[in-house]
Chains A and B, each alone.
Chain A
Amino acid sequence: MIKVAFENAVKLIPYYWPMTTFISRNPLMGFEDMPFREGLKKASKLFKAKVYMPSSYYVELYKDGIIKKDVFEENLLEELRKVGLEEYFQEAKTFMVDISPSSDEYKKVPKDLEKDILKHVKSKDTISKTYYQKGVLGLIEELCEDMLLCEIVDAVFDKNYTDIIEKEIAEFVARFVDEGQTTMSMPERERGMFEAFRLYEGIKETSDEESFVEKHINFINPNNVERYILNHFVKDFGWSSFIKYRSETEDYYFQIKYPSSMMAYLAVRLYFEHKYLKKAPIRNFDEFRDFASKNPYYVVLKLLKAKNMLYPRFLDDMELGKDYKAIFEEYLNYREIQRASFLQNVIYAMSLYYDNLKALLELVEFLEEEEGYIWLVSLEDSYIKDLSKEFVMAKERELKSNLATAIFCIDVRSEAIRRNLERFGHYNTYGVAGFFGTPIAFIEFDKGHEIYSCPVIMKPEKIVLELPKDNHKDYEQKKNINYTFKKILESLKNNPYTPFFMVEAMGWLFGINLFGKTLFPGLTQKLMKNVKAQKPDTTFTIDKLTEQEIEEYAKRFFVEKIQEAYHEAYKKNLKYKDALEILNAILNGKTASFDNKFLELLKTKYAVTKEAYEFQKQKLSMIGYTLEEQVSLVYNFLKLIGFTKDFPKFVFLFGHGSTCDNNPFESALDCGACGGNNGLANVRVLARIANKRDVKEALALKGIFIPEDTVFIPGIHDTTTDELELYDLDFVPETHKAYLNKVLEDFKLASQKTREERAKLLPYADNPDKIFIRAIDWSETRPEWGLSKNMGAYVGKRSSTQNLALKNRVFMQSYDWEIDKDGSILKNILAGPYLIGEWINLEYYFSTTDNERLGAGSKVYHNVVGKVGVWTGNYGDLRTGLPYQTVYVDGKPYHEPMRLLVFVEAPIEKVMEAAKGVPKALELVLNEWTRVIIIDKTKGAAYTIKNKEVITVFEQGSKTTA
């Protein structure tokens, strides 16, 4: 029974990725199956979060002309028509533009309060309505709906259980999910969250986690079990989101090592609640109901106080010990008068005629609920109106010469550098999701684990290893010295006695970095660079291993393990041949002649089993690509962006990454399409494959002729400094060197221009050169703006956007519908970049509308917890979303929150057909979680979808836009 309630509750909780691979996601993803407006209403109530900006914000945009007057009026009228209030258009406009932003001015109680208004309030006000209809106990029930029992106890008896329980939960969870921050990690985590918790708390009972939860829920006995479980998850929204992600990502390294589940997490929460409430005046809802029925007015007043709904004057009355029923009735009366006064003042202010009170009251209530949405749609439509026209009318720009093509990530931050590069007249640029159609599990040189360098909605089928090209003695030496030094410091730091003299003797060493980074960041960075071991030149495992090679490597891997185990068991070395014999015996199941103890050691500690061997072989078979796969990879990539002809001498593939210091949200600035990683590995892999002669020959057979002298060069676009750095230049033949120098010069100039542009937008970065210092300044909360101010995505040809300065606000995915005969490319775009774009956009949206609830709050108070995220202060919930400094500046929002405006350049029929093939994308379009605008150049028109209907936004030849 509990399972269904549990699963329904879990559905509404979003995922939250660990900070090392921060992924922007829609915090309301659990509501995406509902229309946007409805979903926001529900989520706002559940999470107690603001989902639109305050009206004063929109009015400012309206007065600045960003929200266009005609668009706003049209939208307002349309909304009024839906509820039959269109004749009150002027009143509605007055309310939204003049009254709502300064609503505090309308709260004064008038001398002649209209009885009809008061009567109306009595029937509409949530508290009054419930009280009159359901009585005081009904009201109590409603007030308790979103509360935990411990919160109710705290509210009613002025206790502090919730804080204690929350602290206990946070402490256990943080220690369990720790990914290497603590020096003494929690023991027995391998057993899983629930088992570890049982040991942690010394729980003797042996029931499974589900029965455990059921038992505690039954004891607490809430009215609505599903809602109660949800309340628990929402209480620590951040932890719930992270554990949901962790539990549902089976191949997440730490999940494999220390398994967790949402059910175990719920068990932890309920256990602590139950444990502390044992000592409380009421221990479950039965006792609470009993208490409430005996002291209903006291309870209702206390609950109202806890929910910050009780006016302060009534707190004084309670302190003076007045009769609670009288206080409550006085409160109700006061509340109704306050509301009625507000309504009366507003109605007087917005209407000259006072003939239809009922309709005016209805109008105010309607606008109070819907004004956020009306403003939002008007803001979006204002941009849609302007941009659609520009995109439809755009003409192609002629190139002076075709020296190079540069392909960047679709990330909004690539827009300015692309524009500045194109200005030279020798370059074409394209945009594609930053993993460049090359999803890989990447094992970096000298790292022991793989990272998924692809969008989180994909699982890579290929493993790529980074290997040193040649001898790397220098690297090894420096690394060993650094490692030894670090280990000594760590052991001195963690020893109970040594820190005393260590501070005296070696404390100054830390001072170099401390003062250096603060006073001379540039110099210190150079110094530290010399101290750190520099990665040698590397290459990648591009080609697939043969069956024999796989067999050989797998055997070598396991033989080494057997030799190690043998040494451990018998303190003797074992020859390769003998170890191989043992391995073969294990693989063939003929182990009778071997020592059982040794075999057990091999099985348990060294995982030398037939299954592990097969698994390893399967992993090895994932390394590299066959020639067909390589050809198909490059072919699909080029088709995806519509780059199938006119290949110049150079094709630059720019992944992107960022540079910053002391920033737990660093990966939020890296490439989202690469799973929050730097995109260099992907472009290096793709360039290596594309430069292969046999690949080019095979592509020619498929209709894409890449000249032999065309070189694909990988590089990285640093989004903080806008520097473009190239890699693997050994691909460039001597004949191209002079051209390359010219290109490099142009890159430098384009970077400088882009920095100048960006410096104007960054606070306190008056000169572009300061950007380099900001990137390494460890006190800088805004090394760059990230994707703040993102507003749209353009899926189409660059020629349509080339003449506009889109100011790093638009994702730009190159797409040529004429190449995409069957619509499959568009389907891929809708299934990938479109969904990721929606997540990014809505993460920024909600982090701006309510930074405290749906964002991460101020960076200033953040502390890293368990290397998985941050919390505010020294314990509490994991902070999800984006920090305040990412979306706000000087107390004002920098990001302009609106839904992603997705412009798709293709005939309307083609877009509709493709959308039908991607159900998730279709759902988001129809439910309006993004706005889709179809730029149909064949018809010279732009269309959008509103209320599930296609509307013409702009038509060439027509004077006005619809």
Chain B
Amino acid sequence: MYYLALILMGILPYYLFGKNFKNYSTLFLGLPLMGLSIYHFDDPTTASTVYKVLELMAFTTSVLTFFLSYRTLNLIKLSYYFVFVNVVALFIFKDKWMFELYFGSLVFSAFSLYLVGYYMDKTFGSANIDAITGIVLKAPKLALFLRLSLMNLGLYPPFANALIMTSNIVKTNIGVDGYLIVFWLFFANFFMAFRILNSSLFGKPNQLVNYKDIGQGYVFVFSILFLVLTAVGFYSLMEVLL
């Protein structure tokens, strides 16, 4: 069950079936949550050799995903990659609840990024970060939520993901390999997020795109998402401080 959890959290089915990401996109972000539920009820033995091998595999796949993310320009695809890059975090969280919190927050942030990508695809005709540029000027509300999602995913403090990670480092005793993973996660998430901030948000608006900002419905959904993330972030801050 533990392996199934890992497979689902790593969205492996996406790599197997999701080449045409436009059609399968919603389903794929449900899978990590399913994996997380399985993980919740499972009790893995962390000291086994298999566990170490898995850790190495997860790390290698995380690195490969990072490079893969640089080959795509699609925001929806990137939202999956963020999840997959971060699955390796499982191996640095000694506290199961903290990992669940981190992964849950991650999926929520990735979902908000996915939602931005989805909106762009439906409204602007594409979620391509190279083509949909200058969102700050043309769709400021959408840009705000995109920024918040990316700051969360990019492990910018004081957003939830960064705080949970920090809390984990402070509270638990992680080894050298753990610090390597932490360093990697901060690096990978930051660069993946920064790339989008740079090109899509602050570029010159594309004249071939009919920009339109998000409506009330989207604002409501995004607000709920970020309220949840804020609550999680606050909780993690308390964990660090207390």
B73 x A319 contact (CB < 8 A): yes
B210 x A313 contact (CB < 8 A): no
A256 adjacent to chain B (CB < 8 Å): no
- Among A309, A312, A313, the one with the most B-chain Cβ atoms within 10 Å of its Cβ is A312
A312 x B209 contact (CB < 8 A): yes
Query: A308's contact among B125, B207, B210, by CB below 8 Å, is which?
Result: B207
B126 adjacent to chain A (CB < 8 Å): yes
Query: Which chain B residues (166-217) contact chain A, with CB distance < 8 Å?
Result: 206-210
User: 11 A-B Cβ contacts within 8 A?
Assistant: A104-B210, A310-B131, A311-B131, A311-B208, A312-B131, A312-B208, A315-B130, A316-B74, A319-B72, A319-B74, A320-B20
A867 adjacent to chain B (CB < 8 Å): no
Chain A residues positioned under 8 Å from B210 (CB to CB): 104, 107
Q: Which residue of A lies closest to B126 (CB)?
A: A312
Chain A residues positioned under 8 Å from B19 (CB to CB): 320
Query: B208's contact among A308, A316, A319, A320, by CB below 8 Å, is which?
Result: A308
Q: Which residue of B lies closest to A105 (CB)?
A: B210
B132 adjacent to chain A (CB < 8 Å): yes
- Among B74, B124, B131, B132, the one with the most A-chain Cβ atoms within 10 Å of its Cβ is B131
Chain B residues positioned under 8 Å from A312 (CB to CB): 124-126, 128, 131-132, 206, 208-209
In angstroms, Cα B131 to Cα A313, docked, is: 9
By the criterion of a CB under 8 Å from any partner CB, how many residues of chain B are at the interface?
Answer: 19
Contact A315:B206 (CB < 8 A) given known A320-B19, A320-B20: no
Q: How far is the CB of B57 from chain A (nearest CB, A)?
A: 27
In angstroms, Cα B206 to Cα A316, docked, is: 16
In angstroms, Cα B130 to Cα A316, docked, is: 10
In angstroms, Cα B22 to Cα A320, docked, is: 10
Chain B residues positioned under 8 Å from A319 (CB to CB): 72-74, 128
Other 5 A-B pairs with CB < 8 A, given A311-B131, A311-B208, A315-B130: A305-B130, A312-B126, A312-B132, A315-B126, A319-B74
A315 x B131 contact (CB < 8 A): yes
Q: How far is the CB of A855 from chain B (nearest CB, A)?
A: 16
Chain B interfacial positions (CB closer than 8 Å to A)? 19-20, 22, 72-74, 124-128, 130-132, 206-210
Chain A residues positioned under 8 Å from B72 (CB to CB): 319
Q: Which residue of B lies closest to A104 (CB)?
A: B210
Q: Which residue of B lies closest to A317 (CB)?
A: B126
In angstroms, Cα B127 to Cα A305, docked, is: 15
Q: How far is the CB of B196 from chain A (nearest CB, A)?
A: 15
Q: How far is the CB of A11 from chain B (nearest CB, A)?
A: 31
Query: Which chain A residues (311-342) contact chain B, with CB distance < 8 Å?
Result: 311-313, 315-316, 319-320
Q: How far is the CB of A491 from chain B (nearest CB, A)?
A: 41
Chain A residues positioned under 8 Å from B132 (CB to CB): 312
Q: How far is the CB of B51 from chain A (nearest CB, A)?
A: 36
Q: How far is the CB of B207 from chain A (nearest CB, A)?
A: 7
B206 x A313 contact (CB < 8 A): no
Q: How far is the CB of B205 from chain A (nearest CB, A)?
A: 11
Chain A residues positioned under 8 Å from B207 (CB to CB): 308
In angstroms, Cα B132 to Cα A315, docked, is: 11
Chain B residues positioned under 8 Å from A313 (CB to CB): 125-126
In angstroms, Cα B77 to Cα A694, docked, is: 89
B125 x A311 contact (CB < 8 A): yes
Chain B residues positioned under 8 Å from A305 (CB to CB): 130
Q: How far is the CB of B179 from chain A (nearest CB, A)?
A: 33
A316 x B20 contact (CB < 8 A): no
Q: How far is the CB of B18 from chain A (nearest CB, A)?
A: 11
Q: Which residue of A lies closest to B207 (CB)?
A: A308
In angstroms, Cα B128 to Cα A310, docked, is: 12
In angstroms, Cα B71 to Cα A320, docked, is: 11
Query: B126's contact among A104, A309, A316, by CB below 8 Å, is which?
Result: A316
B73 x A315 contact (CB < 8 A): yes
In angstroms, Cα B130 to Cα A310, docked, is: 11
Chain B residues positioned under 8 Å from A104 (CB to CB): 210
A315 x B128 contact (CB < 8 A): yes
Q: Which residue of A lies closest to B21 (CB)?
A: A320
In angstroms, Cα B20 to Cα A311, docked, is: 19
A-B pairs, 3 with minimum CB distance:
A312-B126, A312-B131, A315-B128
Q: How far is the CB of B216 from chain A (nearest CB, A)?
A: 22
Chain B residues positioned under 8 Å from A310 (CB to CB): 131, 208
Q: Which residue of A lies closest to B211 (CB)?
A: A104
Q: How far is the CB of B21 from chain A (nearest CB, A)?
A: 8
Query: B206's contact among A107, A308, A320, by CB below 8 Å, is which?
Result: A308
Chain A residues positioned under 8 Å from B125 (CB to CB): 311-313
In angstroms, Cα B124 to Cα A309, docked, is: 15
Query: Which chain A residues (594-652) contact chain B, with CB distance < 8 Å?
Result: none
In angstroms, Cα B73 to Cα A316, docked, is: 8
Q: How far is the CB of B227 from chain A (nearest CB, A)?
A: 31
In angstroms, Cα B128 to Cα A305, docked, is: 12
Q: How far is the CB of A331 from chain B (nearest CB, A)?
A: 11
Q: How far is the CB of B76 from chain A (nearest CB, A)?
A: 10
Interface bits A403-442 vs B (CB < 8 Å: 1, else 0): 0000000000000000000000000000000000000000
In angstroms, Cα B53 to Cα A339, docked, is: 57
In angstroms, Cα B208 to Cα A10, docked, is: 34
In angstroms, Cα B131 to Cα A311, docked, is: 8
Q: How far is the CB of B130 from chain A (nearest CB, A)?
A: 7
Q: Which residue of A lies closest to B77 (CB)?
A: A319
In angstroms, Cα B126 to Cα A104, docked, is: 18
In angstroms, Cα B55 to Cα A450, docked, is: 75
Q: How far is the CB of A327 from chain B (nearest CB, A)?
A: 13
Q: Which residue of A lies closest to B130 (CB)?
A: A315
In angstroms, Cα B73 to Cα A320, docked, is: 11
Chain A residues positioned under 8 Å from B128 (CB to CB): 312, 315-316, 319
In angstroms, Cα B131 to Cα A61, docked, is: 34
Q: Which residue of A lies closest to B76 (CB)?
A: A316
In angstroms, Cα B20 to Cα A104, docked, is: 31
Chain A residues positioned under 8 Å from B126 (CB to CB): 311-313, 315-316
Query: Which chain A residues (673-699) contact chain B, with CB distance < 8 Å?
Result: none
Q: Which residue of A lies closest to B208 (CB)?
A: A311
Q: How far is the CB of A368 from chain B (nearest CB, A)?
A: 14
Chain B residues positioned under 8 Å from A316 (CB to CB): 22, 74, 126-128
Q: Which residue of A lies closest to B132 (CB)?
A: A312
Chain B residues positioned under 8 Å from A308 (CB to CB): 206-208
Query: Which chain A residues (285-319) contact chain B, with CB distance < 8 Å?
Result: 305, 308-313, 315-316, 319
Query: Which chain A residues (104-154) contact chain B, with CB distance < 8 Å?
Result: 104, 107
In angstroms, Cα B203 to Cα A308, docked, is: 13
In angstroms, Cα B125 to Cα A312, docked, is: 7
Q: How far is the CB of B75 from chain A (nearest CB, A)?
A: 11
In angstroms, Cα B212 to Cα A107, docked, is: 13
- Among B20, B125, B128, B207, the one with the most A-chain Cβ atoms within 10 Å of its Cβ is B128
In angstroms, Cα B130 to Cα A427, docked, is: 64
Q: Which residue of A lies closest to B209 (CB)?
A: A312
Interface bits A831-850 vs B (CB < 8 Å: 1, else 0): 00000000000000000000
Q: How far is the CB of A334 from chain B (nearest CB, A)?
A: 10
